[in-house]
């Protein structure tokens, strides 16, 4: 069994080199990473075949999706793009703007759109207040790209959302014998989101303005469909390690004790390597004035809701007996359809990067890799990634003996 294999071209000949499993184990024992001599325990294969099978299947599925780990990205409808008043001139009032909505300037509709915050400019202000964003930048390693975290207010305040169902409506025609189902149409399920009320009530004001954008309650007129419809995305997420210092936990069993000894041995070899080459440790010195987060989020499944608008905004329950609760309200959406990312013409990599079936760990997230110098961590990280993708990590003892 070869641990690694590579080759070079010498003229017309392809010369390949490899290291056997026994040779690799011998090198690790000489480096005092594995136990040698009488203290070395022989590898014993356990008899828990069914449990290992289940763990393998769960590991290939990367665990389970938790309903609490989700993300919503809300987009703003177009609004009414009408002309703007820019002052008076000798020839009369001066108007600017594109007026793509073709609203006659100075009319009742034009004035009430401003009063209802339905114009594109004013509605954008409502949207920016309700969906204010903040981001942080963290420097991971020297020469590495910075980690960027960005969160939107409406995403954080959205406490409940569902990925709606989709039903294929069928009929039961009968030609000869028993009737059989025959698809005739598609019906999409209802969709409701729940929001926490922020202290400034910007989110509630935004949805109130959106409903006024649908129906002008001052004139009784309905606005155009493309002016008040938008879309939003719903994603399920997983977490992956990005850095930070883990807690020092005392070993509780032989496997953990062996892992700690292995880590200590790699640290000792790394220190000797750094001393011999005159290079300081990979994490010496301050990297950032902010603490690097230990985990980050990655979207692994998502849907887009097309041409939606808030058809119903729920009530806000108030009362003296709810002093410790947070006020919430529901928004019921009407929409055209929804579609899954990475299917059909939705979700190329420039639009959203879903991580499905990938080993989502950086250098500091893998055991023992963080102890290696920068020159060795990259190749070994790729090797461990390939090993974990093809088998469970519990089978790593097959390599280490």
pLDDT digits (tens, 9 = 90+) for 121-131: 999 999 999 99
**Lowest-pLDDT choice from 77-81, 216-220, 253-257, 260-264:** 253-257
CA angle 218, 221, 226 (to 5 degrees): 120
Instruction: Judge whether residue 343 has pLDDT over 70.
Output: yes
pLDDT over 70, % of the chain: 61
Inside any domain, residue 262: no
Inside any domain, residue 155: yes
Position with higher pLDDT, 327 vs 38: 327
Angle between helices 202-214 and 120-130 (to 10 degrees): 150
Inside any domain, residue 115: yes
Q: Residues 125-154: what's their mean pLDDT?
A: 77
Q: Is 13 exposed, middle or buried (0-12, 13-18, 19+ CB in 10 A)?
A: exposed
Q: What is the pLDDT of residue 40?
A: 53
Q: What is the pLDDT of residue 112?
A: 94
Q: Residues 263-281: what's their mean pLDDT?
A: 70
Q: Residues 381-395: what's their mean pLDDT?
A: 47
* Residues contacting 187, CB < 8 A, separation 6+: 166, 167, 169
Q: What is the pLDDT of residue 17?
A: 59
Position with higher pLDDT, 143 vs 115: 115
283-286-289-291 Cα dihedral, nearest 10 degrees: 30
Instruction: Judge whether residue 242 has pLDDT over 90.
Output: no
Instruction: Judge whether residue 384 has pLDDT over 70.
Output: no
**Lowest-pLDDT choice from 40-54, 105-119, 151-165, 258-272:** 40-54
Distance of CA 60 to the CA centre of its chain: 19
Q: What is the pLDDT of residue 153?
A: 93
Residues 187/142, Cβ–Cβ less than 8 Å:
no
Residue 242 structure tokens: 């990005």
pLDDT over 90, % of the chain: 37
- Cα dihedral sign for 25, 28, 32, 33? negative
Residue length, the chain?
401
Residues 310/256, Cβ–Cβ less than 8 Å:
no
How confident is residue 199, by pLDDT bands cut at 50, 70 and 90? very high
Q: Find which of 88-92, 128-132, 277-281 is predicted with most confidence, using mean pLDDT.
A: 128-132
How confident is residue 219, by pLDDT bands cut at 50, 70 and 90? very high
- What domain count does the chain have? 1
The residue assigned the tokens 């300037």 is 105
Instruction: Judge whether residue 114 has pLDDT over 90.
Output: yes
Inside any domain, residue 378: no
Inside any domain, residue 398: no
How confident is residue 229, by pLDDT bands cut at 50, 70 and 90? very high
Residues 135/150, Cβ–Cβ less than 8 Å:
yes
User: What phi-psi label fits residue 308: left (phi over 0), alpha (psi between -120 and 50 degrees) or beta?
Assistant: beta
- Cα dihedral sign for 289, 293, 294, 300? negative
Q: What is the pLDDT of residue 189?
A: 92
**Lowest-pLDDT choice from 74-83, 206-215, 267-276, 347-356:** 347-356
Which pTM was predicted? 0.63
**Lowest-pLDDT choice from 9-13, 32-36, 324-328, 354-358:** 354-358
Q: Residues 249-267: what's their mean pLDDT?
A: 66
The span from the CA of 246 to the CA of 277, in Å, is: 28
At residue 41, φ and ψ (nearest 5 deg) are -90, 135
Q: Residues 241-259: what's their mean pLDDT?
A: 55
Q: Find which of 53-62, 141-150, 273-282, 367-376 is predicted with most confidence, using mean pLDDT.
A: 53-62
Inside any domain, residue 312: yes
Q: What is the pLDDT of residue 237?
A: 86
Q: Is 47 exposed, middle or buried (0-12, 13-18, 19+ CB in 10 A)?
A: exposed
| Structural domain boundaries, residue 196 | 50-244+291-365
- In the predicted model, what is the mean pLDDT of the chain? 75
HEC assignment per residue over the chain: CEEEEEEEEECCEEEEEEEEHHHHHHHHHHCCCCCCHHHCCCCCCCCCHHHHHHHHHHHHCCCCCCCCCEEEEECCCCCECCCEEEEEECCEEEEECCCCCCCCCCCHHHHHHHHCCCEHHHHHHHHHHHCCEEEEEECCCCCCCCEEEEEEHHHHHEEECCCCCEEEEEECCCCCCCCCCEEEEEEECCEEEEEECCCCCHHHHHHHHHHHHHEECCCCEECCHHHHCEEEEEEEEEEEECCCCCCCCCCCCHHHHHHHHHHHHHHHHHHHHHHHHCCCCCCCCCCCCCCCCCEEEEEEEEEEEEEEEEEEECCCCCCHHHCCCCCEEEEEEECCEEEECCECCECCCCCCCCCCCCCCECHHHCCCHHHCCHHHHHHHHHHHHHHHHHCCHHHHHHHHC
Position with higher pLDDT, 265 vs 204: 204
Inside any domain, residue 285: no
């Amino acid at each position: 069994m070869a641990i690694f294999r590579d080759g070079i071209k010498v003229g017309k000949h392809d010369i390949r080199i490899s290291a056997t499993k026994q040779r690799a184990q011998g090198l690790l024992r000489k480096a005092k990473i594995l136990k040698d001599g009488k203290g070395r325990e022989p590898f014993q294969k356990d008899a828990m075949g069914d449990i290992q099978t289940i763990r393998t299947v769960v590991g290939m599925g990367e665990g389970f999706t938790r309903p609490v780990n989700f993300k919503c990205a809300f987009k703003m409808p177009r609004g009414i793009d009408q002309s703007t008043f820019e002052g008076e001139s000798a020839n009369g009032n001066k108007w600017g703007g594109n007026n793509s909505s073709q609203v006659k300037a100075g009319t009742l509709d034009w004035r009430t759109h401003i009063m209802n915050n339905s114009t594109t400019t004013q509605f954008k202000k409502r949207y920016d207040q309700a969906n204010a964003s903040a981001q942080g930048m963290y420097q991971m390693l020297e020469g590495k790209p910075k980690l960027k975290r960005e969160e939107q207010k409406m995403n954080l305040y959205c406490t409940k959302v569902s990925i709606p169902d989709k039903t294929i409506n069928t009929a039961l025609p009968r030609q000869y014998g028993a009737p059989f189902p025959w698809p005739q149409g598609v019906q999409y399920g209802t969709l409701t989101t729940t929001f926490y009320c922020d202290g400034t009530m910007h989110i509630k004001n935004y949805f109130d303005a959106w409903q006024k954008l649908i129906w002008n309650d001052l004139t009784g007129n309905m606005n155009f469909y493309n002016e008040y419809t938008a879309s939003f995305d719903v994603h399920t997420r997983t977490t992956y390690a990005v850095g930070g210092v883990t807690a020092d936990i005392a070993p509780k069993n032989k496997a953990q004790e062996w892992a700690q000894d292995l880590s200590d041995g790699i640290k000792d070899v790394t220190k000797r390597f750094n001393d011999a080459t005159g290079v300081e440790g990979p994490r010496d010195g301050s990297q950032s004035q902010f603490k690097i987060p230990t985990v980050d989020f990655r979207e692994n499944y998502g849907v887009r809701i097309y041409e939606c608008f808030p058809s119903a905004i729920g009530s806000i329950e108030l009362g003296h007996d709810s002093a410790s609760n947070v006020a919430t309200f529901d928004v019921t959406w009407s929409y055209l359809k929804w579609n899954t990312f990475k299917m059909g013409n939705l979700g190329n990599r420039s639009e959203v990067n879903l991580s499905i079936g990938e080993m989502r760990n950086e250098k500091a997230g893998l055991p023992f890799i963080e102890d290696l110098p920068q020159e060795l961590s990259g190749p070994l990280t790729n090797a461990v990634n390939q090993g974990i993708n093809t088998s469970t990590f519990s089978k790593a003892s097959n390599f280490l003996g």
